Amino acid sequence: MRSVLLLILAGALVAQSPKYGVGRAPTADEVRQWSISVAPDGTGLPQGSGTAAAGRRIFADRCARCHGAEGRGGDSGALVGGRGTLNSSKPLRTVGSYWPFATSVWDYVNRAMPFDRPGTLKPGEVYALTAYLLFLNGIVPENAPMDSRSLPRVQMPNRNGFVRDPRPDVPVSGAGRRTTPRPNRSR
């Protein structure tokens, strides 16, 4: 919400700039399109739903060429496996071994993937892909529908592998918590 307000304010400032006379205030529709953040508690997740079974097909089609079959590692890195390796000399950080929130998987895939065509997935496809990645990592059953209610309830294996960031100049943000990897577990 705060970022939406900032965007609106920034847009208004630019629009009113007497010096340069460039730019315009974004329309409410444009702000809505940019405002795609999903918080760890699921705030911002849209309607829609998908299961791993549907995600499997989309992944093969749109993701496997970079992340390997079943996400086990292509040129762009594995998304599956690595559980129990974080405190070894060869940590494998994946969605399954490292990420603390399932909601962040949704957010990341939605905003950044496929790497060469971000923003082209529909909400239901992102739910299905998230469900598939969670299923491949042994976190949810294959037929469990992921949606704005079920996804925030998923407990990620490394959920407690992070500690609060003690630096006084790091603010605690609204919905999230300031966290940093536990040094002895992630290295």
From the CB of 67, what's the least distance to ligand HEC, in Å? 5
CA atoms within 13 A on the CB side of 39: 12
Residue nearer to ligand HEC on the CB measure, 43 or 104: 104
From the CB of 32, what's the least distance to ligand HEC, in Å? 23
Residue nearer to ligand HEC on the CB measure, 82 or 152: 82
Nearest-CB residue for ligand HEC: 63
From the CB of 10, what's the least distance to ligand HEC, in Å? 25
The residues facing 49 across adjacent strands are 147
Residue nearer to ligand HEC on the CB measure, 26 or 100: 100
Report the DSSP pairing between strands 162-164 and 179-181.
antiparallel
CA–CA distance, 178 with 167 (Å, rounded to integer) = 10
What letter does residue 81 receive in the DSSP assignment? -
Tokens of 97: 């071994």
Residue nearer to ligand HEC on the CB measure, 34 or 115: 115
What is the distance of C-alpha 53 from the center of its chain? 20
Residues near ligand HEC, by CB under 6 A: 62-63, 65-67, 76-77, 79, 93-95, 105, 108-109, 113-116, 129
From the CB of 76, what's the least distance to ligand HEC, in Å? 3
Q: Where does 17-86 have alpha helices with state H?
A: 28-34, 52-62, 64-67
